[in-house]
Amino acid sequence: MSSVCSEPSHTHTAFLSVVAHYKSYTRALQRVGRFLHVLVTHRVIFPHEVPKFSQLNLVLRLYKREDPRRFRANLRVNPDTFDALFRLIKHHPVFVSKGPKSQMPIRFQLAVALYRLGNFGSRVTVEAVAQWAGFSAGAVVKATRRVSEAFLSLHDIAIRWPTAEEKSAAADWIEEQTCTAWRPGFAMVDGTLIPLHAKPGHFGEQFFDRKSNYSLNLQVM
């Protein structure tokens, strides 16, 4: 009699089976729910992490303070010029983050843009600059666009006709350096050739200069 009572009934066994299936079904629904949440909240499900070692701290700290020659080799400007450029754009609203993630420091963005604009060929592919900077390719593109937008907003400040006071000062300098007859010539023109890495795809022959290079002519008044 005792052996018969110790064995579970068929009803009890079926109940336990239903409970086990229900728990399994519930866990499966939870896993599906978590997966759907990831799909909705993440742009990249399986990110490909590429190890990078940033050169920015080396350039902006060590080279800027102790080795201006290598600083110029990287960013094409002197340390003092870099600081002056930074002061001009640091308060521009384009550097205010509008999303949940903060932007890279403005100095870093300026350095990335200068590095990209100051080189050519395979060194300025987005991936190459990303490895140099230690940031993603998307961050490099965004930094370049932000810095360009910030400087374009300064167009009317940097490029304008001189005031009467500036004309007078320039005329005084001309007279001092030359003679009274040249005093009215307060405006001077100087030109320089900016070589291009390759022949432009549109109207390329028009960029061929007297030094047998493809270049742009920059004139400064």
pLDDT score for 120: 81
pLDDT confidence tier of residue 188, bands split at 50, 70 and 90:
low
| pLDDT single digits (tens) 126-176 | 999 999 999 999 999 999 999 999 999 999 888 888 888 988 888 888 888
% of the chain with per-residue pLDDT over 70: 90
**Domain spans in the chain, listed from the N-terminal domain onward:** 10-47, 56-156, 161-220
Residue-level length of the chain: 221
| pLDDT single digits (tens) 9-48 | 677 777 778 778 888 888 888 888 888 888 888 777 777 6
CA atoms within 13 A on the CB side of 76: 11
Whether the predicted model's global pTM rises above the 0.85 cut: no
Hey, which residues does 194 pair with through a beta bridge? Answer: 216
% of the chain with per-residue pLDDT over 90: 43
Per DSSP, the residues of 120-173 read -GGGGSHHHHHHHHTS-HHHHHHHHHHHHHHHHTTHHHHS-PPPHHHHHHHHHH
Q: Return the higher-pLDDT residue of 97 and 185.
A: 97
- Distance between CA atoms of 207 and 215, rounded to whole angstroms? 6
- Helix intervals (H) in the chain: 2-6, 10-41, 56-57, 64-66, 68-75, 79-89, 106-117, 126-133, 137-152, 155-158, 164-177
pLDDT score for 27: 87
